[in-house]
Amino acid sequence: MWCGDRRLARGLVALAALAVLGTTAACGAQEPAAEPAAATPTGTPADAATGRIAEVEFARQCTVASANYADEAQFTIELDTHLAAAGFTHEQWKRWHDALAVSPELVTQFAEISARGCPAEPPG
């Protein structure tokens, strides 16, 4: 398999994981009242700020498999540390993460960023 194909595959897997996490995070949450069909969300536009958040998220995904967290709180602290270093809050990341479900622009932007592959990837 060509190296670029593996990177694209990893990016698609990462997007699928985000989609699953987004849907499972809502489990058990009270559903809001249904809105009229005319109120369909148009999505959040991708811009430089959303691109930087996507870069932080993808970099975290590249390292999370090799990290060992004592509990979920440590995982969140590590994420917040990276977000703060990039000038973002957890709330900004959460809004970006939640918007992935309704914004094809953000999904495309994240796919483009993750298609570059993780840094220091072993040759293959």
Which residues touch 123 (CB under 8 Å, ≥6 apart)? 3
C-alpha distances in Å from residue 47, one per residue of 27, 52, 56, 86, 96: 30, 9, 14, 15, 11
pTM above threshold 0.75: no
- The DSSP letter of residue 45 is P
> What is the domain partition of the chain in residue ranges?
44-119
CA–CA separation, 84 and 20 (whole Å): 25
pLDDT in tens, the chain (124 residues): 444 444 444 444 444 444 434 433 444 444 444 443 333 356 789 999 999 999 999 988 888 767 777 777 888 888 899 999 999 999 999 999 999 999 999 999 999 999 989 876 555 4
Tokens coding 31? 């559903």
- The DSSP letter of residue 26 is T
